[in-house]
Structure 1
Amino acid sequence: MAAPAWYRLDNVGKFYASQAGSGNQTVFRLAATMRDEVDAEALQRALDVAIARFPGFNVCLRSGLFWHYLEPAKTAPRAESEALPVCFGLHTGPKSVLFRVTYYERRINVEVSHMISDGRGSLEFLKTLLAAYARERYGAPVSEIAYPGTEAAKTEDSFSANYDRAAAGGATQPKVFRLPGWKRDDDFTYLELHYSAAEVHARAKAADATVTSWLIAAVIAAIRREMPAAERDRAIHMDVPVDLRSLFGSTTLRNFFGLAFVSYTPGDADESLAQIAARVQRQLTDGTEPEALKRRMMQMIKLEKNPLLRLAPLFLKDFVLDIAAWKTAREVTCTVSSLGRVAVDEAAAPYVEGISALTSPAGLNFIVSTFGDDLCIGISSRFVSLRVARNLVRLLADDGITGFANVSREAAEIDRDLKEAQLEDRLLAAGAAWQQQKTRAPQREQGRVGRNP
């Protein structure tokens, strides 16, 4: 069956399309670390197989009068040696293809624009690519089971297909703590922390929590260390994307997720990691109930379904959607996602050592993925300082969990960042001391006035 002449963007894709051409494009990066150095020719043959199965990834963004849409690329994709920064923007013009496949030493990387898919959909593409690569490279007897659903089902806008305006509902937003610090407009920092999945699972089980809840609690504790005393009445507010495909029986590879939220207000006393994890787990249990997910999903797409916005020209839609995305980003402290335990074709699994995930950040993002005994926490940050990441590593080390890290920077760049972060720390300390002195000054002045009426 021939690929469609064009595809609609899903609801979330329309939001991200408003970023097209800017430096704020959101891109997912999924990487597989292989047993051996990558064979470029075998990878290209595998890519040909994967894109034949999922042609909806090989697309370009085009602009109509009222909406953006996707059009199949004129050329077949090429697997290339990695030469660009991590999560580098994919859209630079109407001929830009919205995904790329690269390799470096033992790594196979798939980068996908959030305009066309989310982490779960992109993972399905990577799994197919790895299975095909294992067959091409090693002659592995991988299965030929096709991804379920027709091409129309794989590229369905499941948000619109399941929209029910009456079910939409918002939630009260707490006073949110926003991380302070200098940010970069580009050249973000990407960090992978690798740990034993068995060790992390054991710590979570001891705290009577799931791995996701326990790791979110660890991130909360890491952020808490950066909160000034005057702001501890604000909430560390996180959004946690949740896959909606099983809930609605969807096989789409486009964006289809809802949001659960976790809020934690530290107050005056520091609770233990186990106590925080218990709070997180209760919130995630409630937030992932079907009715709660449906209510938030409908609220997410309510703006795009607004009749006035639908009739507005494209440039006005992009402006409104961009403002909405900016406002949403300010309502959270950070984002924590989990791909869970990743399973690839049994015949391909012996050739894969690990799976990691990153995304271009709005501020600070975490993505957790597990393959075998390798648990990877992918951290993406716009901040010059990596204080939160450092706090997280120390918290886990204090609990007896150690591993190794990969960072997207050369030694000279790390030295530069450390110097900038140290300067920022000194300025923040000086500012805090000045503010404290300023707070005390009126009291001394009042004393003098009292003595000398």
Structure 2
Amino acid sequence: MSARRPKAWRTLDNAAKIFPSNSHGTDTKVFRFACQLKQPVQPELLQRALDETLPEFPAFSSVLRQGAFWYYLEESEKRIRVEPETLPPMTALYHDSHSPLMRVVYFDRRISLEMYHALTDGTGAIQFFRVLVSRYLSLAHAEELGGRMILPEYDATLGQRMDDSFARYYDPSARRKRHSKPAKAAQLRGEKNFERRIGVIEGRVPLAALKAAAKAENATITVFVTALLLESLAENLPVGRLKRLPVQLSIPVNLRNFFPSLTCRNFFSVFETGYHFKTGFPERSQIIEKVAADFKRRLDLEHFTARLVRLASLERNPFARVLPLPLKNLGMNIAYKITARNTTASYSNVGTIVLPPELIPYVAAMDVFNSTGRILLISSTFLDTVTLSFTSAFLATDVQCSFFKRLTELGIPVTIVASNTETED
């Protein structure tokens, strides 16, 4: 009788360590990728596609275990099954050490992937989702495609996909720049959504129109959207609060753009940008100028190298390493709440989602969401459409209405999608 192979396990990467102790309420640390097809989903083929895709991303089949000093990921032999969609978007995934950290659900013509942030970031999840959807479409349209399995280009070995790039690029000899602490930010307040559900609203706009509007302001699309969001937030904050505190956004950054990495695990950083509306509303060009300067100052290799070293040094501190996990959880929870005071909301541009050209005729739309304890905007591009996806912990939708109103005032047509119902604005 042969001995049973011990289960593989992996330590959490640097970014993932803070998520288990701060997953609560509407901020479940779950993000969602959805693909709207032109034909109803065939569940048995989706299950087959999932079964064949997961071995290429072994860490995604893990469960989260608690050690004496840190959480860690352990491989699970339990099969992840596709299911009809019955839960609200981004419902909590992590409950205990037996919980699968991803789910694949379907509804009519929509396939959705939800993942716990301790597994991966948005870039890693996009790679998995692209392979999953491409494999499903190759199976569902085998006759039209001549039986070919058409998969997206992703030239990475298994080791490269599962690489801990935070550990790889930690260089203790790198210069640790002194950093200025961001100021406290103005905070939105209001009634929260019923039963801690996340409010979801998205608008779809033509890429060409949004690009033209940004170009007219001499801005990139990301800087332009950031400025519009800052205006929309400020419009819905009390004047007294605006005079005292700036409106600030947290901006996630894909570190693969700065370090050579093909990992599908977390590898991102963040920076803050904002504007202090203490004397009222300036010309939009002034906000754009301030935001563009922040982007230029923060989006450089030296800045992120220093930040990477600073965060990794905290993790490697001898005293911190021997603290029991409950004390680490308490410390990370306090640190997370303190950091949250520095931002009003968040904005992330995940970029263009690309599928093989042969599969494009079968897809109607793609979108991305993330859980949040406040307000979060994610922009993504598929073909000639930019999807602007809001998630919010608040019952009121004034910020979202202000944002989309600004777009329509600029002559940009917006298709609003809320609660899976489309209307033209």
Q: Please report the TM-score for the alignment, with normalisation by the length of structure 2.
A: 0.91
Q: Map 1:265-304; keep pairs closer than 5 Å.
A: 265-304=276-315
Quote the Cα distance in structure 2 between the aligned partners of 1:301 and 1:240: 20
Q: Which residue number corresponds to residue 155 of structure 1?
A: 162
SS in 2 for 1:222: helix
Q: Which one of 220, 233, 241 corresponds to residue 231 of structure 1?
A: 241
Q: Which residue number corresponds to residue 227 of structure 2?
A: 217
Q: Which one of 36, 39, 43 corresponds to residue 36 of structure 1?
A: 39
Quote the Cα distance in structure 1 between the aligned partners of 2:134 and 2:76: 24
Q: Which amino acid is 1:223 matched to?
A: L
Q: Does 1:360 align with 2:367?
A: no
Shift of 1:176: 1.4
SS in 2 for 1:323: helix
Over 3 Å counting, the alpha-carbon distance change for 1:152 and 1:314 in structure 2 is: farther
Shift of 1:407: 2.1
Shift of 1:340: 1.0
Q: Map 1:112-127; keep pairs closer than 5 Å.
A: 112-127=115-130
SS in 1 for 2:350: strand
Over 3 Å counting, the alpha-carbon distance change for 1:145 and 1:365 in structure 2 is: closer
Q: Map 1:416-431; keep pairs closer than 5 Å.
A: none
Quote the Cα distance in structure 2 between the aligned partners of 1:409 and 1:138: 26
Quote the Cα distance in structure 2 between the aligned partners of 1:84 and 1:98: 15
Higher mean displacement: 105-114 or 193-202? 193-202
Q: Which one of 256, 267, 270 corresponds to residue 256 of structure 1?
A: 267
Shift of 1:132: 0.4
Q: Which residue number corresponds to residue 62 of structure 2?
A: 59
Q: Which amino acid is 1:317 matched to?
A: K
Over 3 Å counting, the alpha-carbon distance change for 1:197 and 1:23 in structure 2 is: closer
Question: What is the alpha-carbon root mean square deviation over aligned residues?
Answer: 2.2
Residues 96-147 of structure 1: per-residue CA shift (max 9 Å, x gap)? 1000111111111010000111111101111101110111011244545774
% of aligned pairs identical? 31
Q: Does 1:194 align with 2:204?
A: yes
Q: Which amino acid is 1:189 matched to?
A: G
Q: Which residue number corresponds to residue 96 of structure 1?
A: 99
Quote the Cα distance in structure 2 between the aligned partners of 1:151 and 1:323: 36
Shift of 1:43: 1.2
Q: Which amino acid is 1:268 matched to?
A: T
Quote the Cα distance in structure 2 between the aligned partners of 1:53 and 1:111: 18
Give 5+ residue unaligned stretches, structure 2. Answer: none
SS in 2 for 1:103: strand
Q: Which residue number corresponds to residue 7 of structure 1?
A: 10
SS in 1 for 2:400: helix
Over 3 Å counting, the alpha-carbon distance change for 1:144 and 1:123 in structure 2 is: closer
Quote the Cα distance in structure 2 between the aligned partners of 1:297 and 1:228: 36
Q: Which residue number corresponds to residue 191 of structure 2?
A: 182
Q: Map 1:432-447; keep pairs closer than 5 Å.
A: none
Higher mean displacement: 97-106 or 149-158? 149-158
Q: Which amino acid is 1:149 matched to?
A: A
SS in 2 for 1:348: helix
Residues 240-281 of structure 1: per-residue CA shift (max 9 Å, x gap)? 111011322111111100113212112324223343223222
Q: Which residue number corresponds to residue 85 of structure 2?
A: 82
Q: Which amino acid is 1:393 matched to?
A: F
Quote the Cα distance in structure 2 between the aligned partners of 1:94 and 1:143: 36
Whether contact under 8 Å (1:369, 1:375) holds in the other structure is yes
SS in 1 for 2:94: coil
SS in 1 for 2:231: helix
SS in 2 for 1:78: coil
Over 3 Å counting, the alpha-carbon distance change for 1:220 and 1:20 in structure 2 is: closer
Over 3 Å counting, the alpha-carbon distance change for 1:266 and 1:19 in structure 2 is: closer
Residues 350-371 of structure 1: per-residue CA shift (max 9 Å, x gap)? 2222211111102111110010
Quote the Cα distance in structure 2 between the aligned partners of 1:386 and 1:280: 24
Q: Map 1:306-385; keep pairs closer than 5 Å.
A: 306-385=317-396
Quote the Cα distance in structure 2 between the aligned partners of 1:241 and 1:403: 25
SS in 1 for 2:167: helix
Quote the Cα distance in structure 2 between the aligned partners of 1:221 and 1:348: 39
Quote the Cα distance in structure 2 between the aligned partners of 1:258 and 1:269: 31
Q: Which amino acid is 2:201 matched to?
A: L
Whether contact under 8 Å (1:117, 1:253) holds in the other structure is yes
Q: Which one of 122, 131, 146 corresponds to residue 128 of structure 1?
A: 131
Shift of 1:88: 0.5
Shift of 1:4: 6.5
Q: Does 1:172 align with 2:175?
A: no
SS in 2 for 1:125: helix
Whether contact under 8 Å (2:26, 2:373) holds in the other structure is no
SS in 1 for 2:346: strand
Kindly indicate which of the two structures has a greater share of residues assigned to helix.
1
- Name which one, 1 or 2, has greater alpha-carbon Rg: 1
Quote the Cα distance in structure 2 between the aligned partners of 1:3 and 1:331: 44
Quote the Cα distance in structure 1 between the aligned partners of 2:305 and 2:230: 26
Quote the Cα distance in structure 2 between the aligned partners of 1:145 and 1:191: 29
Q: Please report the TM-score for the alignment, with normalisation by the length of structure 1.
A: 0.85
Over 3 Å counting, the alpha-carbon distance change for 1:243 and 1:15 in structure 2 is: same
Whether contact under 8 Å (2:347, 2:377) holds in the other structure is yes
Give 5+ residue unaligned stretches, structure 1. Answer: 411-453
Quote the Cα distance in structure 1 between the aligned partners of 2:220 and 2:47: 39
